[in-house]
Amino acid sequence: MCALPATLGRDSGAAAVVLDDGTVSRRHARLEFVDNHLVLTDLGSSNGTYLNDERVTRRVLVSGDRMRIGRYELTWTFIDPETTALVDPGQLTMLRPVAPPRVAARRVVEAAEAHNRRVGHELDGFLSLAHGFLPAEPPLLAFPESHRAWDEMTDRLPDLFRRLSLRRAFDAMPVLDARPAALPDRYLLRASTLLGVFAHAYQYMVTDPPTALPESLLRPWTTVSRRLGKKIPAVSYIDLFFYNWRLRDPAGPRALDNMDLLVPTWNNAAERVFYLVTTEFAMGLTPVLGAMLDAQEAVVADDPAALESALLVILDRLQHVTQAIYPQIDPNPRARHPLDQVLWAKTVGTAGVPIFDGAPSPSGTAQPQIHAMDAFLERRDYGSLVGQQSVYLAGFFPRHWQELVAALREVSVRQYVEDTRNSTLRGIYNAMLDAYVGDRGWMGLHRIKAYGFLEVAFKVGRQVTTGARFTGLFKDRTWDKVDGELAVVREERRPPVGPPVAFGTARRGRVVTGESGAWTCYLEIDVTGQGVHHLPGDRVGVLAENDDELLRRTVAALQATGDELVRLTPKWRAAVAYRAGYGEVDVLPLRTLLRFAQLRPIGREVAKRLVKLTAVGPWQRVVDARMEDQWELWDVLNLLYAGGYDVTRLWKADPQEDDAFCAVIPPEPFRLYSIASAPPPGQPATTLQLVVAGLDYTSARTPWSYPRERQGTASHFLRRASVEGRHRLSLQIVSTPRFRLPADPARHVVMFAAGSGIAPFLGFVAARTGSGENRLYLGIRTPEEFVERTDLDAAAAAGRLKLSVAFSRADAAIEFDGRRHVVQAGQRRRVDDVIRAEADALWELLRSTDDGGRGAFVYVCGSARFAVSVLKALTDIVPGDGREFLRQLVADGRLGEDVFTTYMGHAQQGPRFEVSDLAQHTTSDVGYWMAIGGAVFDVSEFLHLHIGGPHIIRNHVGLDATAAYRKVLHHAHAEIDAQLSMYQIGHLRRLQFGARWGVGLTEDGLHALPLEELFRTWVRFVYLLVGMENALTADYGFTTSVTTLGEDPRELTPFKAQYVLEAHRRFLVSYLDGLVHEELRTLWQLTVGFCDPHLDIRSFDIDLAAMSARSDVGLVRRSVSAVKELLLAGDDFRQVTALCRIYPHVDVQLLRDLKTAVLEGIQAFEIHEADVVEQAGATLLNAAHEALAAVSAYYQRLAEQTRGQGITADGAVEEAIPVDRGLPGHGGPLPLPD
Amino acid sequence: MLVSDVMTAFPAYIRLGATIRRAAEVVSVSEVGQLMVLDHDGRFVGSLSEEDLVRAMLPGFDDVTGAGGSLADAFRIFLERGRALADRVIDPLVVRDTATVRPIDELARAAIVMIERGIRRLPVVDDGTLVGTLSRADLCRAVIYHS
């Protein structure tokens, strides 16, 4: 290490860095720091100074530049003591030994590279620094002449699939020799991929498996597999993803747009996108391999700076693949590479399931990158099912990969980061970990995406996943179990270094108060040396503390002094560890605990917990009215105390008890704020700027709440911090991959902000230094709220920014006078008025470049109401279909929304809707609605904008989607939750049943039941019907997609017809039987108990048995296999086509008829509420009757149509339901070949 | 304060071998929900609750479907079973391993076991002999009303 300026040269007296070489001058060159730049100057040397092989006299150095003087190649690292905390200068030398210590993993990689070069093939595993786990030599495109029969088959698969004639074609293919003499080693990988794909195509072309593979496939595939060291022939991850691609333009990039599948099966969009994105994903991770080696070597060399840069490479790549490559798997049908989940489920989704028992599967857990990362990050636990599967699959890795994974475990980067206690390294290490396993990282994203795919897939009857097989009735929600497994596996991977949190120090800020008293605080947080890396648009989570006044009230309400010691639960211990200066504590004084607790407003879960604990009537009524958010903990406690509850239990109870404070009240969560600054690219942030809007409101005067001034916890905390300064803050960076500037700086950007929504755009403006135009439209109330900012003035002066401000409550405007933005007279207006006023110019900017426009990126930041008004105005300025334009804008990734709910403290807004209204909104004609957490949303338009695609939304319309919404953590991500409020139209009305009850007789005996429970049974039934209707619509929608390359989507190909048959059979067995024999029966039994004591409870069973005995029912159920035989025989396709056109229609119609019948009952509840039994008991019973009658009519109708097609199915029997092979399991039903 | 200070000293009781009709009569006359049961030698063996008497009359699912299948049938069977049960002995319905207290026990001790196990009336037993019962009403009267 040397200080600047430094001279480099041969003379040990004159030079700080001595280079012992005759070709080096005494004083050869100088390094110095000029205006924030590191400058290299040649000091008139005889033989010159070279930078990146170019002779230079004076040049600014940038990171990565190679410097050469004489025969010395100089590597360098610039350490700025101002911006980094790597403080021990004695550790570092400017001239490090050129050869760093070679760690075991590097030796493995070098040996693998040398081995593969020497033998001329990569059968022992692809492994190189240049290509990571992918082949160094691109996959071969052809076999030698002797094996042309295989090559010729590759282009024919889609057509053979479409006609269901693939098995015949392979039966007729010659049996080729795959022994070494006939097929040299270098063709083995191609043969493995081809034969594997062929075999799987043969196996899965028809929904029923064949009895055996034909000799033409089985013999060569077995031979090739054995030669590759596989005991059982199986398609590997390598076959499907690493050796199944070709470059369209061999000189072009290894990217989705430039790749085709080597061996396409259907060659449909789902197959191409799913496989090739997975391939590109692996390609994108290539630099991680080298970075892991560098990191370990930095640890061995005790070089924190080198470790920092290596970890940053990993962080950057992880973020790149998850935020840029992975999202290319896009379920949005308007996207560039749309991937329809139903198409995926019916084709690609099952294609990799192993054919033979005991064979490994090519599931995601077989990715070598994951195993390498896990080894590098020291994953310790593999106990979950997915974890065990992962270990099992790693046993099938080629030699080089196995050796690498083992070698990567030899050096502990984590331990080093922990030991150095270096906050920069710790920050980056934890950020890298978060990018890998965090909620928004690789594993988190995978889980959410997989959940969406699995749910859609299971509902359209995908009975197998690639790793394991499942069957299960629709109502069992098998996908939830699979998802649970993925959640456990994510828990298994993360030992972070200390709590994953950064600490910052608040600087004194500035508070701007408007005319109305509303205030905004501009705050700076110093995060120097914390290793905080973020991009413009990201958010920062802040842990707030409660103020003294609130603490005083709460302590008083708890009848405590505040000094009482309270023991913490594990959840609370983890939360307190995030606080600066606390770390590992088991006990806290009550007052401190309260300082960190979420004391206001009362959340739904806490409210319900308090109801359960205290049974205090007035509070129960508040919660029933959903008005708990009008309360703070202290006034609730006072209410509970008045109702007889012993409030001291909260701090006296042991932590494991239900009524302990820590079990009832959660810790304050991180509150998110958009970061209003941007660090230079690739560098850590030293300062985070925030724009905090103050939150003050008065709770409502209603029967369940009283008016009182309330404050927002976080905004007031940050205001105090900015006034006091020096306050230590706990921070977490939350990345917002959907709110990113365009990668190309020449693209144009249009930003719309309201109030404090300007925050992310301040960061954007700072980061946008390219040629692209930037427009910022800001909506605020009065000129007092307008804050002059030198950064905006400078950007405008440089021509980089056009700022337009709309004042909603003052006749004013902002003008740029060439130097500053100044307030002038103008007219009051809102941002949407400005948009309409500038319609033509904006449209020109927004219109896509394909359409002759300028293709600007659009960003909106503000409250949900503001966002709605901006989007509405934007659709209005589009000539033609404005909504369609907006949908396309989203699909192109050109619309970023950063929406926040400004909590104004009234949950009871908007109209009330009934369950019967909700359940009927399931079609495009009447619109799509859904309910989440008691609120009703119109998602007709959102359907087209949902990141996860329309299928997932369609699956949940017309019913209560709360569980699914929470499952994917949407409720925990404020930015998503807030977007939802853009579509809210009201609330579900809660019916009042008082204390009415009745008696029901079921197999469990006689039981008393609240009337409300009877209503819930009806509602559950109608939701089940709606869910089935949604799923079935998606299932049959498959018939209109392009399933194989080059087909007319309107044509019902034999391949599609077999799926119609399968869906119809699943409808009969999986849906209808459970629905009628269980759900409808229970509904009937309970309803009879309430409504008619003289009715024989068995009359339903008798009616059902009579119906089932009818010949119509027998024909409908038997005919499925008869029609399938007709299809496979391939003689007369017309009958099959006719019936396959009928099934979707009648099946969906039955569900709608059932819904109509059941809604009669639901509406009776809605009209009469507590008096429903007396007033409309007969209506309820009749509705249940009508439901059964609808089923009966369905069978009759369908039987007639089946007979009408001349099908009597005399000899046919109904197919049995296949055995559930459980989870996990490998392999299919074929026995192993000898 | 001790159990003996507040207990009811002359509890309603019945002997093993008595009929269910007799038990119903004692319940009705004494207006207590729980009868103490003595053996033939006069020693305490357990208790019989009116709840168990009523439960014994409630029909199960198969009973109902075997006799018409409607709720009205269920209600009819309930009455019929009452008549049929009346002449049987109480012995199978007696709960024998019931919690007891001694006369010299502290009241609070009794209160705790009553609340935690949902007992409405505790037998007070001294060396195998029933000497009284302690009800929740006794507790409330002694501890709250007379305080």
Region A1059-1065 average pLDDT:
88
Q: Measure the CA–CA gap between A239 and A575, rounded to whole angstroms.
A: 45
- Give CA separation, A977 vs A141, A429, A966, A1208, in Å: 49, 29, 10, 54
Best A1082, A1091, A1095, A1097 residue to mutate vs chain B (most B CBs within 10 Å): A1097
pLDDT at A630 over 80: yes
| Distance to chain B for A1006, nearest Cα, Å | 7
pLDDT band at A60 (very low <50, low <70, confident <90, very high): confident
pLDDT reported for residue A1224? 32
> With contacts defined as CB-CB under 8 Å, which chain A residues touch B61?
1001-1005
pLDDT at A363 over 60: yes
pLDDT reported for residue A466? 34
Region A1004-1011 average pLDDT:
89
pLDDT at A1166 over 90: yes
pLDDT at A619 over 70: yes
Q: What is the 3-state secondary structure (H, E, C) of A938-990?
A: ECCCHHHCCCCCHHHHHHCCCCECHHHHHHCCHHHCHHHHHHHHHHEEEEECC
Instruction: Count contacts between A and B (CB, < 8 Å).
Output: 41
* Contact with chain B for residue A1006, Cβ under 8 A: yes
pLDDT reported for residue A559? 95
Region A493-517 average pLDDT:
82
Of B58, B59, B70, the CB nearest to A1096: B70
Cis bond before residue A601 (omega within 30° of 0): yes
Cis bond before residue A703 (omega within 30° of 0): no
> With contacts defined as CB-CB under 8 Å, which chain B residues touch A1003?
61
Q: Which residue has the tokens 């007035």?
A: A618
pLDDT reported for residue A90? 44
Region A187-192 average pLDDT:
95
pLDDT band at A10 (very low <50, low <70, confident <90, very high): confident
Q: Count Cβ atoms within 10 A of the Cβ of residue B97 and give its class: 0-12 exposed, 13-18 middle, 19 or more buried.
A: exposed
CB A1055 within 8 A of CB A163: yes
pLDDT reported for residue A1227? 35
- Which 8-state DSSP code applies to residue A1128? H
Please give the mean pLDDT across all residues of chain A.
87
CB A134 within 8 A of CB A126: yes
- Where is average pLDDT lowest: A47-61, A424-438, A1139-1153? A47-61
The closest alpha carbon to A871, from A890, A852, A855, belongs to A890
pLDDT reported for residue B130? 95
pLDDT reported for residue A79? 61
Structure tokens at A579: 């606080």
Say which residues have a Cβ less than 8 Å from residue A218's Cβ, sequence separation at least 6: A199, A212, A233, A1233
* Contact with chain B for residue A1082, Cβ under 8 A: no
Structure tokens at A583: 């770390």
Higher pLDDT among residues A901 and A51, named by residue? A51
CB A343 within 8 A of CB A1035: no
Best B71, B75, B77 residue to mutate vs chain A (most A CBs within 10 Å): B71
pLDDT reported for residue A297? 94
pLDDT band at A249 (very low <50, low <70, confident <90, very high): very high
Q: Give the torsion through C-alpha atoms of A648, A651, A655, A658, to 10 deg.
A: 30
Closest-approach residue (CA) in chain B for A1093: B71
Inspect the interface and report whether the beta carbons of B70 and A1003 lie closer than 8 Å. Answer: no
Higher pLDDT among residues A477 and A1178, named by residue? A1178
pLDDT reported for residue A94? 44
Region A90-112 average pLDDT:
70
pLDDT reported for residue A467? 34
The closest alpha carbon to A463, from A1154, A977, A1070, A1121, belongs to A1070
Best A1006, A1091, A1092, A1098 residue to mutate vs chain B (most B CBs within 10 Å): A1006
Do the bridges between strand A749-754 and strand A857-863 make them parallel or antiparallel, or are there none, so unpaired?
A: parallel
Inspect the interface and report whether the beta carbons of B71 and A1002 lie closer than 8 Å. Answer: no
* pLDDT tens profile A459-481: 665 443 333 333 344 445 555 66
- CA A1158 from centre of chain: 36
Q: Measure the CA–CA gap between A47 and A866, rounded to whole angstroms.
A: 65
pLDDT reported for residue A246? 94
> With contacts defined as CB-CB under 8 Å, which chain B residues touch A1006?
58-59, 64, 74
pLDDT band at A97 (very low <50, low <70, confident <90, very high): very low
Region A1131-1149 average pLDDT:
91
- Give CA separation, A1161 vs A186, A1016, A1022, A1073, A1157, in Å: 70, 12, 10, 22, 7
| Distance to chain A for B32, nearest Cα, Å | 25
Q: Measure the CA–CA gap between A614 and A621, rounded to whole angstroms.
A: 13
Structure tokens at A1024: 């089940």
Structure tokens at A709: 């001034």
pLDDT reported for residue A153? 93
Closest-approach residue (CA) in chain B for A1100: B69
> With contacts defined as CB-CB under 8 Å, which chain A residues touch B71?
999, 1001, 1088-1089, 1092-1095, 1097
CB A752 within 8 A of CB A873: no
* Contact with chain B for residue A1093, Cβ under 8 A: yes
Cis bond before residue A1224 (omega within 30° of 0): yes
- Per DSSP, the three-state class of B89 is strand
Q: Which residue has the tokens 């098998």?
A: A478
pLDDT reported for residue A6? 80
What type of residue sits at position A438? G
The closest alpha carbon to A904, from A1076, A712, A1032, belongs to A712
Q: Which residue has the tokens 């009715």?
A: A1095
Q: Measure the CA–CA gap between A245 and A260, rounded to whole angstroms.
A: 6
Query: Reading across the β-sheet that carries A72-74, which strands appear in turn?
Result: A54-56, A49-51, A67-69, A72-74
* Contact with chain B for residue A1050, Cβ under 8 A: no
Best A997, A1001, A1091 residue to mutate vs chain B (most B CBs within 10 Å): A1001
Q: Measure the CA–CA gap between A785 and A510, rounded to whole angstroms.
A: 12
pLDDT at A340 over 50: yes
* pLDDT tens profile A531-553: 899 999 999 999 999 999 999 99
> With contacts defined as CB-CB under 8 Å, which chain A residues touch B59?
1006
Tally of CA atoms within 13 A in the half-sphere of A465 that contains its CB: 26
Residues of B with CB under 8 A from a CB of A: 58-61, 64-65, 68-75
Q: What percent of chain B has pLDDT over 90?
A: 61
What type of residue sits at position A407? A
Inspect the interface and report whether the beta carbons of A1097 and B71 lie closer than 8 Å. Answer: yes
Say which residues have a Cβ less than 8 Å from residue A157's Cβ, sequence separation at least 6: A166, A197, A198, A201, A263, A264, A265, A266, A267
pLDDT at A744 over 80: yes
* pLDDT tens profile A292-309: 999 999 999 888 999 999
